[in-house]
Amino acid sequence: MTNSWSVILGKFGDLGKAGLPYLYSSLSKLYGKDMQVFNEDALTTGFNENFIFIGNGNVISQCVEKRLFEYATESEGYTVYIGDSIFAPEKQMICITGFDDKGLLYGIMDFCNKYLGDVLWQHVDLWRGDIFSTPFERKLPDWKTTTYPKIKTRAIWSWGHVIYDYKGFFDNMAKMRLNEIVIWNDHAPLNANEIVTYAHSRGIKVIWGFSWGWSTSIAEDFKKLTDQSLVELKNSIVSTYEKEYAGIEGDGIYFQSLTELSSEILNGKCVAEVVTDLVNDTAQELLSRYPDLHIQFGLHATSVKSKLDIIKKVDPRLYIIWEDCGSFPFNYFPEKTQNFDDTVSFTNDLMKLRGKSEKFGAVFKGMLKLDWTRFKHHESSLRIGEYDKDFIKKRQIEKNQLWKVIQASWIKNAKYAQLMTTEIVEKANNPIVEAVIEDSMFENDIMFPAALYSELIWDPNRDINEITGQVAKYPCVKFANI
pLDDT per position as a tens digit, 385-442: 999 999 999 999 999 999 999 999 999 999 999 999 999 999 999 999 999 999 999 9
pLDDT above 50: residue 56: yes
Among candidate residues 45, 48, 76, the one with its CA nearest the CA of residue 58: 45
Q: What is the CATH number of the domain that holds 87?
A: 3.30.379.10
Task: Provide the pLDDT confidence category of residue 304 given band limits of 50, 70 and 90.
Answer: very high
**Domain containing residue 25:** 5-147
Taking all residues of the chain, what is their mean pLDDT, rounded to a whole number?
A: 95
Are 289 and 432 found together in one domain?
yes
d(CA 331, CA 329): 5
Greater confidence (375 vs 42) lies with: 375
Q: What is the pTM of this model?
A: 0.96
Give me the pLDDT at residue 130, please: 60
Q: DSSP class of residue 165?
A: B
Mean pLDDT of 71-95: 95
Residue 288: band (very low, low, confident or very high) from pLDDT cuts 50, 70, 90 = very high
pLDDT at residue 48, rounded to an integer: 87
Same domain, 120 and 255: no
Are residues 235 and 264 both part of a single domain?
Answer: yes
What pLDDT does residue 1 have?
45
245 and 228 assigned to the same domain: yes
Q: What is the pLDDT of residues 409-422, one digit of tens each?
A: 999 999 999 999 99
- pLDDT reading at 37 higher than 80: yes
Q: What mean pLDDT comes out for the span 76-90?
A: 95
Q: Can you tell me whether residue 102 is helix, strand or coil?
A: helix
Residue 120 confidence (pLDDT): 87
Q: Exposed, middle or buried by CB within 10 Å (0-12, 13-18, 19+), for 20?
A: middle
Burial 130-168 (b: 16+ CB within 10 A, else e): eeeeebbeeebeebebbbbbbbbbbbbbbbbbbbbbbbb
Same domain, 176 and 117: no
Contact 175, 22 (CB under 8 A): yes
Q: Are residues 137 and 184 in the same domain?
A: no
Helix (H) or strand (E) holding 310: helix 308-311
Residue 133 has pLDDT above 70, yes or no: no
Domain boundary at 126, 147, 168, which? 147
Q: What is the mean pLDDT of residues 165-179?
A: 98
Cα–Cα distance for residue pair 27/112, rounded to 1 Å: 8
Q: 468 CB contacts (<8 Å, ≥6 apart)?
A: 411, 414, 452
Query: Model confidence over 230-263: pLDDT tens digits?
Result: 999 999 999 999 999 999 999 999 999 999 999 9
- Quick one: average pLDDT of 122-127? 71
Residues 127, 188: one domain?
no
Domain-terminating residue out of 114, 147, 180: 147
Domain boundary residue, one of 83, 115, 147: 147
Same domain flag for 409 and 283: yes
Alpha carbons 130 and 149: distance in angstroms, whole number? 36
Query: What residues contact 408, with CB distance under 8 A and at least 6 apart?
Result: none
- Does residue 128 surpass a pLDDT of 80? no
pLDDT(88) > 80: yes
Does residue 136 share a domain with residue 247? no
Kindly report, residue by residue over 187-218, the tens digit of the pLDDT.
Answer: 999 999 999 999 999 999 999 999 999 999 99
